[in-house]
Chain A
C-alpha cells in the first residue's frame, strides 16, 4: 500500500479512536466496519440525518406522526430480532 495512504489511514484511525470515547459522535465512525455489509444502514443514517437537519432548519421538533412511525418501526425491528432462531 502506498505509504501516504497508510499514513492517512493511521491518522484518521487515531483521530476516530479519540472521538469515539464517551462521545456519541463516534457512533457513525464505529459503524463503518458494519456498513461494509451493505448500504442500507448507511443510507438510513444519511436519511435520518437529513430529517434531523430539516427539523433544525424549520425550528421544529419531531411531529406526533414521526414519533409514532419511529416507535412502530423500532418495535417491529426488535420483535424480528428476538423472534429469530439463529440455529
Chain B
C-alpha cells in the first residue's frame, strides 16, 4: 500500500513545549488510553477510539480553507487508506466478541477464543501505526 505520509516522527520544539506544559498541568503521559487498557478488547476499543478522534479532527481539517488544498487532499487520502484496516479490525473485534459469547454458552472451545484473540491483537497492531501516521500528518 502506498503511504501518503512517512512514518518519520518530526517532533518540534513547539510540540515538546506543549508536552512540558501538559506534564506540569498533570495530564502528560498518563493519558494514553491504549496504555491504560489491560485486555485485548479494551486495547481494540482504545485504538478504535483514538482512530475515531483523529478522523473527527481530520474532518475539521479537511473543511478548513486556511489549510492548503494539497494538504487537505493528503489528509483525506490518508483516511481513505486507513479505512480498510479499521474495518478489518472492527470485523475481528465483532468476531472475537461473538466467539467469546459462544464459549460462555459452551458452544466452542477455549482454543478457538485464543485464535480469534490473536487475530484481533494483530489488527490492533496494524491499525496502531496507521493512527500514529495520521496524527503525525495532521501535526504537520
Contact = CB atoms under 8 A, between A and B. Distances in A.
* A and B physically associate: yes
A66 B31 contact: no
A12 B16 contact: yes
B49 A17 contact: no
Given A61-B41, A77-B52, A25 B32 contact: yes
A70 B48 CA distance: 8
Nearest to B136: A30
30 contacts: A9-B20, A13-B15, A20-B9, A20-B11, A25-B29, A25-B35, A26-B9, A27-B50, A28-B29, A28-B31, A31-B54, A31-B135, A36-B18, A37-B60, A38-B57, A40-B57, A41-B57, A49-B36, A52-B33, A52-B36, A52-B49, A55-B37, A61-B39, A61-B45, A62-B41, A67-B45, A67-B97, A70-B48, A77-B59, A81-B59
A42 B20 CA distance: 15
Interface residues of B, number: 65
Interface of B: 9, 11-20, 22-23, 27, 29, 31-39, 41-42, 45-63, 69, 72-73, 75-76, 79-80, 83, 86, 90, 93, 97, 128, 131-132, 135-136, 138-140
A41 B29 contact: no
Contact of A12 (B20, B51, B138): B20
Interface residues of A, number: 55
Interface in A45-80: 45-46, 48-49, 51-53, 55-56, 61-62, 64, 66-67, 70-71, 73-74, 77-78, 80
Contacts of B13: 9, 13
A78 B31 contact: no
Contacts of A49: 31-33, 36
